Amino acid sequence: MKSKHSLFQSWGVFFLVLFALSAPAQGPSIPKPPETPKHPVTDEYQGVKVTDDYRWLENWDDPAVKQWSAAQNARTREYLDQLPARAAIKKRIQELVAASSTAYWDLGFRGGTLFAMKYQPPQQQPMLVAMRSADDPASANVIFDPNTASGKGSLSIEFYTPSLDGKYVAVAMSEGGSEDCSAHIFETATGKELSDLVPRVNFATAGGSIDWKIDNSGFYYTRYPQGNERPPEDANFYQQVYFHKLGDDPKQDAYVIGKDFPRIAEIKLHSSEDGRWLLAAVANGDGGEYEHFVMDSSGQWTQIAHFEDGIVSAKFGRDEEFIYLLSRKNAPRGQILRLPLAHLALANANVVVPQSPGSGSDESTRASIENFEPAPGHLYIVDIIGGPSRVRVFDGEGHALPSPQLPPISAIGQVVSMGGGDALFYTSTYLDPPAWYRFEAGSGKSVRTALYQTSPVKFDDAEVVREFAVSKDGTRVPLNIIKLKSAKLDGSNPALLDGYGGYGISLKPFFVGSQTRIWLDQGGISATANLRGGGEYGEEWHKAGNLTHKQNVFDDFIACAQFLVDHKYTSPAHRAIIGGSNGGLLMGAAFTQRPDLFRAVVSFVGIYDMLRVELDPNGAFNVTEFGTVKNAEQFKALYAYSPYHHVKDGTAYPAVLFLTGENDHRVNPMQSRKMTARLQAATSSDRPILLRTSSNAGHGIGTALDEEIEQGADFFSFLFDQLGINYKPGEK
C-alpha cells in the first residue's frame, strides 16, 4: 500500500499483459457461491447511518468465517482448475522463469565490499551475497540463502544492513510473507551467524531499519513494543530506536530516541561513513510528512526538520561536512539543500539544485526530483518526468557536470555511490532487461557492468507508445502502451490496463519480459496509467490524488480506459484491468463507478471498505494519505467512493477475481471477503465473482516462487476464459 514496503515490484501484480481475441470459448460451468447470510450492523458516521450486512466476515477467529473462506476457495479452484489453458500457461511461465538469467538488486557498498540481493531462477527466494565489484559477480560469496535455511520456501529476507567496514551484516527476515522480522547477524566473509537474535525489528505497519556503530560493537534499530509494554492494540505502533550491543541479551538493549514520536511514526536510520553521525528520518504515517533528527558522536540529538518544513529526504555528504536535504517546501517538484553539519539549523541550509521550472510545452520542465545520492565531489539527482526517469550530475555546490545517457522511456531504480565520485545505477525499460551501469565521473561515460539480466524472449517486434488521456477536470494523464508494431487499431484488441495512484508512488517503466511476451504472442495491448496520487510530477501530483481529492485518481483511470476505446486500441468488451493494494482500491472504485467499461478485473490484496480500514493497525498509518471518518469532510469523500458501499443490487458487474493472503498485515483479508460477498449478492450478470485466499502468503513481499507461479497461472487463465482467448504458446 505504500512506499515503505515497495510492494508489487515483482512480476506478480503490475503485469504489463496483452491479449488476443478469438471466438468466445465455452467456459466451464461455475458453481454457485456458498450461502452468505446477512447480519446487518448499523453505524453512524458524521450523522449518516450506514448498514453493513457482512460485518461478521471481518472476524477471522470465527470458525464460520474460516469455513466460508474455505468454501469460496474450493469454488474458485473448481472453476480455475478446469480451465483448458491453465496447465499450458503454468508450464510456459515455469519454462520462461527457469530460462531467465540471474538478477541483482538492492545493492549496498560499504568497506570496499559490494552487497546485493541475488535471485537465481528457479529458486524460491533471493539470497544475500557479497562481491568485490559489479564487474566480478563470480567473486560473490553467499552470506545467507533462505532456500537452504528453509525447505518450504517461506523464509525471506526483508532488508539487510552491512556494518560500516563491511565485516558484519544485519539481516531482517520473516516467514510466510508476514513481514514480522527478527534481525540476524552474519559475518560477511564466512556467512557464519552470530548468536544475536533481535526480535520485531520490522513489521508491516511502520517497516523497519538498522544501522551500525563505527566500532562494530553493535547497531541501532527500530524496535516495536515488547511484552506488556503497551496494550495489545498498540503492539504494532510507537516504533522507537534502540541500541543492541553484540553479545548482549536484547532484553537489555538501550533506548535511544522515539518516545515523543507519533503513534504512527515510521523510522529510517542511516549512519555517516565515518560513524560520527546518525540520522533518524521519521514519517508521520503514509501521507508524505517527515521530520529529521541527527545524533552526534556524544549522543546528542538535534532536530533539523519538522513535519511542516517539507524535508522529505536527508543524506550525509561523502565529504562528512554537509548533509543534503530534498525539500518540497514551496518547491513541490523538489529542490536540494546543503546544510553544514557544524551548524545544524535549517536556516543555515542553502539551495544547491533548484526545482525545475514546471512550465512550457516540454514535459521535461515538469521533472520532479525523486531521489538523490551524494558521492565524493559529486551529487547524483534522479528526476522523474511523468513516469520515465533521467539522471543529472552536479558537484557538491550544485554546478552541472556531464550526466549519463539513458534509453527513452526508461527508469532508474537505485543509485549507489562507489567512492571516487563513481556510481552504479540500475535502469530498466518496458522491453529491455534491467542492467546495472557504472557512471565514471572522471570521463562522464556510462559502462554496463557484469550485473545485467538477459531474457529468453525478445521484443524487436514490439513498441512502447506514450500517450496522454484527458481526465474529467482537463488534466493530462500519461498512458504507456505496449503493443506489437503490426497491431491494427480497430477496437478489437483485448487489452489490460493497470494503475496505482497513491502515496506518491510512481509507476515507472519496468521489465516483466516473460509475462509480457506470453501476451504479445497472442497479439494484444497493455497499458500503464500514471495517475494522480503518485509522484510522477512531484508533490502537487500526489496531493491532487490523496485525502479529499482521491476521486481524481479514479477519474484519471477511467479517462485512460476511455482513451483506449476512443483511439481504437480496444473496446469495453475486450478490456480487463488489474491492480493491487491501493491499486486494488482503484480496481474496486473503477468497476463500481463504471461497470460498463470493463469485461474482467483482477484485484490483489485490495482495500474496499474505506469506512473500516482505519480500524486495522496498518490502516491507522494510512489516515494521513486517505483521511479519517472522524473528520466530516474526509468522511464525505471516503463514503463517496468507498467501493464496498457503492455496489448496487441488480447491476451487471464484470467478472472479478479477488486474491488475498492469510498473512497479510497491511491490508486485512477481510476487505476481500466482504467485497466478494457483497458483489456475489448484487451482480445480475452470469460472470463469476471469485475469491482466492492463499494460506502461505501475505501482502506479496516474501512470496515463494511456486506460489507466484500458481497465482499467475490462475489469473492469466481466468482472464483468458473471460475474454474468450484461445491460448497458443509463442516462440519468440
Active-site entry in 182, 455, 471, 581: 581
Contact 385, 363 (CB under 8 A): yes
Distance CA 64, CA 74 (A): 15
Neighbours of 81 (CB within 10 A): 13
Residue 187 backbone dihedrals phi, psi, to 5 degrees: -80, 130
Contact 556, 505 (CB under 8 A): no
Contact 534, 540 (CB under 8 A): no
If we measure between CA atoms, which residue out of 345, 307, 353, 344 comes closest to residue 329? 307
Contact 666, 1 (CB under 8 A): yes
> What three-state secondary structure class fits 673?
helix
Distance CA 660, CA 608 (A): 13
Look-up of cell digits 552504479: 424
Residue 347 backbone dihedrals phi, psi, to 5 degrees: -65, -20
Distance CA 392, CA 390 (A): 7
Active site residue 699: yes
Letter string b/e over residues 452-481, b meaning 16 or more CB atoms within 10 A of that residue's CB: bbebebebeebebebbbbebeeebebbbbb
Active-site entry in 5, 244, 645, 699: 699
Active site residue 492: no
Q: With left for phi above 0 and alpha for psi between -120 and 50, is residue 710 left, alpha or beta?
A: alpha
Contact 352, 370 (CB under 8 A): no
Neighbours of 252 (CB within 10 A): 8
C-alpha grid cell, residue 412: 532508474
DSSP string, 342-402: TS--GGG-EEEEPPP---SS-GGGG-EEEEEEEETTEEEEEEESSS-EEEEEE-TTS-EE-
E strand or H helix that includes residue 416: strand 410-417
Distance CA 197, CA 235 (A): 19
If we measure between CA atoms, which residue out of 629, 634, 626, 632 comes closest to residue 607? 626
Q: How many CA atoms lie within 13 A of 616 on its CB side?
A: 21
Active site residues: 581, 699
